[in-house]
Amino acid sequence: MKRKLYRFISLMIIFILTAVGCSKSNNNYKEKYRPQYHFSPEKNWMNDPCGMFYYEGNYHLFYQYNPNDTIWGPMHWGHATSPDMVTWTHLPVALEPDDLGTIFTGSSVVDSQNTSGLFDKGSGIVSLYTNDNKGLQQQSMAFSTDGGKTFNKYKGNPVLKNMGARDFRDPYVFWHDNTKKWIMVLAAGVKVEFYNSSDLKNWNYLSEFGSYEGSHGGVWECPGLFELPVDGDKQNMKWVLKVDVGDNAVGGGSGGQYFIGNFDGTKFTNDNSKTTTLWLDYGSDFYAAQSFSGAKADDGSYYWLGWMNNWKYAQLVPTERWRGQATLPRKVSLKSFPEGLRLVQTPLTQLESLRYGSKKINNKVISPDKNILKGYSGESYEIVAEFELGTAEEFGFKLRKSDSEETTVSYNTKNKNISLNRVNSGEVSFSEYFKRKYTAELKPVDNKIKLHIFVDASSVEVFGNDGKVVMTNLIYPDPKSKGIELYSKGGDVKLVNLEFYKLRSSWKK
Ligand code: FRU
């Protein structure tokens, strides 16, 4: 009898433990700080998005993933797919470490002409990535014959050996139509190197760029190279070379820069002076952005997203079950301004599918000490606003606000700059680099300033003047800090119009 009781009790314990385990893995994305409409892995560590491509109706996102811990470790490629870059389905890990090392960042292409000879059925997906073996970095290849669901490693790896370089990684590959060759751009310490290939397996060195150009505050990583129409004119194309810098970027720590110029299939030439640095983002949490290979907007723009984090504190951010998330997907185009050509990033219009509970305001004068957004609150929402400058010295929004917390997005009319202040945004004590204010120049156009702001459980992304200036920042406010305030200081500002939308979770069924 006693034995039976013991057996029953142990069975019950096993049942309860299994149930708890299951409910943990059937995670509903409701934990504290869990982004509601940004991509994040169900559990454990993520950094760079990589290997991204569009194929037969699906966007494939891979990412640097440690499936066993919430800090960086042996890198795998995590995998998710989406029909619209907004709602994601997690898939099993795509690439695991092997004899040549762990799997660092890389890129994928659709080999539609079977140039690699790897596909019996005529076409398939080829991914090139860095194998890291305790610091020895070489480029390897994997391929998929089932549209990107599963991958096989190529038997002849590595396809590009390391001849003694210390940092030699993050291959970005694309088809160059003029020379009818595959091009690989590789981060190689303080520069990038270009290679070409006819079959994705044999690579020839072409040239290098960058040793003395742009920002060198840290090691160069995660390059990208693409051609964009200037102001939408497809007869006037320019090449953009994007390169991340591991430290001392404009927002402190790691960040992204870009160069505008020409690429003739062999060599990249910079249109700007060597000392010009063009930054992708003026916040502190936009890194390792990569575009989706094979996906372009009708106007020739690219789509990309980045890792919303910074190597200065990435392993310390106060999330428990998972650590790391992606930025919003953005459309990337090239526009001319009085100071020259600049990359412009705007949030993907597909995100509008998450909107509900809209509120609108038109033509309202904002005076000091009068918060016209009293009835507004939220954790995940979007604000689209246009202001006509008046006598106010400063105006802006206080977001995720409570008595003790607030994140401020402000415009200073005298200095003509935009700021994001997260000094009192919530949990900031985990790193001395987090408690900061970020500022960038933004000139008014026709005396007007536009702010497009996305707030989520642990982030704020600001697109100023239609994406001319972008600021991407993590924040860790108390979930109860939901207040929203619109303020002006030292005078009035006219709110020409404001649209407010709550955003539903993209993770709910
Ligand atoms: C950039 C990076 C890459 C590297 C990867 C390793 O964040 O350092 O250069 O491939 O992360 O996880």
Considering only CA atoms, which of 420, 469, 470, 414 is closest in space to residue 442? 469
Q: Is residue 192 assigned to a domain?
A: yes
Per the CB < 8 A criterion, the answer to whether 488 and 346 are in contact is no
Residues 188 and 255 in one domain: yes
pLDDT tens, position by position, 12-48: 554 444 344 333 344 689 999 999 999 999 999 999 9
Per the CB < 8 A criterion, the answer to whether 77 and 95 are in contact is yes
R_g of the chain computed on alpha carbons:
24
Q: Is residue 1 assigned to a domain?
A: no
pLDDT tens, position by position, 381-433: 999 999 999 999 999 999 999 999 999 999 999 999 999 999 999 999 999 99
pLDDT of res. 238: 98
Residue 195, CA distances (Å) to 176, 208, 266 in order: 12, 9, 8
Q: Is residue 254 assigned to a domain?
A: yes
Locate the ligand 1 atom nearest the alpha carbon of residue 167 and give its number: 9
Locate the ligand 1 atom nearest the alpha carbon of residue 307 and give its number: 7
Residues 343 and 363 in one domain: no
- In the chain, how many domains are there? 2
Residues 323 and 412 in one domain: no
Residues 370 and 341 in one domain: no
Residues 386 and 440 in one domain: yes
pLDDT tens, position by position, 250-280: 999 999 999 999 999 999 999 999 999 999 9
Q: Is residue 257 assigned to a domain?
A: yes
Structure tokens at 508: 């709910």
Q: Is residue 16 assigned to a domain?
A: no
Mapped onto helix, strand or coil, the DSSP state of residue 12 is helix
Q: Output the CA 120–ligand 1 centroid distance in Å.
A: 33
pLDDT of res. 3: 58
User: Ligand 1 pocket, 407 CB below 6 A?
Assistant: no
Give the integer Cα–Cα distance in Å for 319 and 331.
29
Q: Output the CA 258–ligand 1 centroid distance in Å.
A: 18
pLDDT of res. 490: 97
Residues 317 and 367 in one domain: no
Most ligand 1 atoms within 8 A of CB, residue of 46, 62, 63, 64 to mutate: 64
Residue 126 lies in domain: 46-347
Residues 333 and 364 in one domain: no
Give the integer Cα–Cα distance in Å for 438 and 430.
18
pLDDT of res. 1: 52
Residues 296 and 411 in one domain: no
- Count the Cβ atoms, other than its own, within 10 Å of residue 189: 16
pLDDT of res. 12: 55
Per the CB < 8 A criterion, the answer to whether 51 and 65 are in contact is no
Q: Output the CA 221–ligand 1 centroid distance in Å.
A: 7
478 is catalytic: no
Kindly give the pairing relationship between strand 76-82 and strand 169-176.
Answer: unpaired
pLDDT tens, position by position, 220-258: 999 999 999 999 999 999 999 999 999 999 999 999 999
Most ligand 1 atoms within 8 A of CB, residue of 69, 75, 221 to mutate: 221
- Contacts of residue 279, defined as CB under 8 A and 6 or more positions apart, other chains included, come to 249, 250, 255, 256, 257
pLDDT of res. 10: 54
CA atoms within 13 A on the CB side of 324: 27
User: Ligand 1 pocket, 197 CB below 6 A?
Assistant: no
State the first-to-last Cα distance of the chain, in angstroms, to the nearest integer.
Answer: 47
Task: For residue 248, give the CATH number of its domain.
Answer: 2.115.10.20
User: Ligand 1 pocket, 170 CB below 6 A?
Assistant: yes
pLDDT of res. 15: 47
User: Ligand 1 pocket, 222 CB below 6 A?
Assistant: yes
Per the CB < 8 A criterion, the answer to whether 254 and 203 are in contact is no
pLDDT of res. 23: 36
Q: Left if phi > 0, otherwise alpha if psi is -120 to 50, otherwise beta: which for 172?
A: beta
Provide the b/e sequence for 333-362 (b: ≥16 CB within 10 Å).
Answer: bbeeeeeebbbbbbbbeebeebeeeeeebe
Number of H helices, E strands in the chain: 1, 33
Residues 386 and 303 in one domain: no
Q: Write down the catalytic residue from 48, 132, 281, 285.
A: 48
The alpha carbon of 256 is separated from its chain's Cα centroid by a whole number of angstroms, namely 10
Which stretches of the chain drop beneath a pLDDT of 50? 14-26
Task: For residue 467, give the CATH number of its domain.
Answer: 2.60.120.560
pLDDT of res. 122: 87
Residues 309 and 431 in one domain: no
Residues 338 and 363 in one domain: no
Residues 317 and 368 in one domain: no
pLDDT of res. 4: 60
Q: Left if phi > 0, otherwise alpha if psi is -120 to 50, otherwise beta: which for 400?
A: left
Q: Which of 285, 317, 347 is the last residue of a domain?
A: 347
Q: Is residue 322 assigned to a domain?
A: yes
Q: Output the CA 287–ligand 1 centroid distance in Å.
A: 10
Per the CB < 8 A criterion, the answer to whether 467 and 322 are in contact is no
Amino acid at position 5, single letter: L
Q: Output the CA 342–ligand 1 centroid distance in Å.
A: 26
Q: Is residue 388 assigned to a domain?
A: yes
